[in-house]
Copies of this chain bind each other. A is one copy, B any other.
Amino acid sequence: LAEFRLIKQLSQRFGRTGHRVLCGIGDDAALIRPSKGQDLMVTTDLLAEGVHFRASTATLADLGYKAAVANLSDIAAMGGMPDYMLVTMAIPTGFRTSMITNLYRGLMAAGRPHGVRLIGGDTSASADGLFLSLTMIGHVRSGRALTRSGARPGDGIFVTGTLGDSLAGLRLLEDSPPAARLSRAFRAFLIGRHRRPSARIKTGRALSSHGLASSAIDISDGLSGDLAHICEQSAVGAEIDLRNLPFSPACRAFAAASRLDAADLALEGGEDYELLFTVPPSARARIDRLVRNAECRCTCIGIIRPPSFGLRMRNSEGRLRRLPLTSYQHFNKGLPPAGGPSCSR
């Protein structure tokens, strides 16, 4: 019960009302007044203990941070601005108040820089593990939202930032053998990218407000799986060139030390939360200008093809091969710590 009083306090501390939030926490529902000429986006993500996270690889503050980023990233992928967050949580017995405070701190640390306000939620006890489900609401100018369904043959395929860092970070946390051979700075970078990824709100917003992208998605299941979503919903094929994938020096060093292909970390690794988007030829010049001023690099990694082309990749020798379709599994229940995430066809 002390925990629930604390959550009430935290809600009051972090919860907000204002011009457009007529009721925040404390009534039957939150009440918001939408702005004229805006569409609303709503997304929800669930994190379950033993499925999406383990206490051994993430603090509760990191968990809160990442839960918020997963939702922020969905808003970013549609070119929106995040506004409101609702938090539901089932809390196991034995949780101390400091643990819940830390979780909220992480949530707010990710949301606050983007102006996200906490407007509601629900809390209960849990007979077993911790469950955290967020709902995030954002907005975009009417008709400007980016979807997964607008890619056309000839469009360039772009990604923000660098790929594979999060999976490399997770493997380091799970203490796989090559860890010792990496510099402390590289370790810290990769683990930071796993624990506290960035949601590409600014880039998504620039793409939607300038009408530059024909489709977009965030990379939460790995490049291959998320590119497949774009292709499926746009009814197109795609060709990517693995030689063009953007990697951080830390990820390259990790891959070399682990005798892995960095491309595999990118293709299979979920939770990078970078944006994958397509750009029509007419917008290529403008995208290059945008990229120079962006929050992060944007790299062209391929081209959209007709549906009959399917999904193919040019490998490190320049040969065209089928793109292996993997889907990121956070990790399996009961997997030994060194196992890392598994990928299944």
Contact = CB atoms under 8 A, between A and B. Distances in A.
Nearest to A148: B27
Interface in A208-259: 216-218, 233
Contacts of A323: none
B33 A36 contact: no
Interface stretch (A56-64, A104-112, A122-130): A122-130
A52 interface: yes
Interface in A123-149: 123-129, 131, 133, 135-138, 140, 142, 145, 147-149
Interface in A179-235: 216-218, 233
B45 A86 contact: no
A17 to B, nearest CB: 11
| Most chain B Cβ neighbours within 10 Å, of A29, A78, A80, A129 | A29
B50 A127 contact: yes
A121 interface: yes
A176 B89 CA distance: 32
A42 B74 contact: no
Number of copies: 2
Contact of A44 (B52, B120, B127, B216): B120
| Most chain B Cβ neighbours within 10 Å, of A45, A47, A135, A137 | A135
A299 interface: no
Contacts of A122: 44-46, 133
B41 A30 contact: yes
A89 B131 CA distance: 10
A78 to B, nearest CB: 5
A302 B88 CA distance: 34
A208 B145 CA distance: 33
A120 B50 CA distance: 24
Contacts of A13: none
A48 B88 CA distance: 11
B26 A41 contact: no
A319 to B, nearest CB: 32
A300 interface: no
A90 interface: yes
A80 B75 CA distance: 26
A278 B149 CA distance: 49
B43 A40 contact: no
A290 interface: no
A77 interface: yes
A51 B89 CA distance: 13
Contacts of A124: 46-48, 51-52
B43 A32 contact: no
A317 interface: no
A31 interface: yes
A29 to B, nearest CB: 4
A84 B40 CA distance: 12
20 contacts: A22-B145, A28-B77, A28-B216, A29-B43, A29-B80, A29-B136, A33-B39, A33-B40, A45-B122, A46-B89, A46-B122, A48-B90, A48-B131, A50-B128, A52-B124, A125-B333, A127-B128, A127-B333, A131-B131, A133-B133
Given A26-B148, A27-B148, A44-B133, 11 more contacts: A23-B145, A28-B78, A31-B40, A32-B41, A34-B39, A42-B84, A45-B122, A46-B89, A46-B131, A50-B127, A51-B126
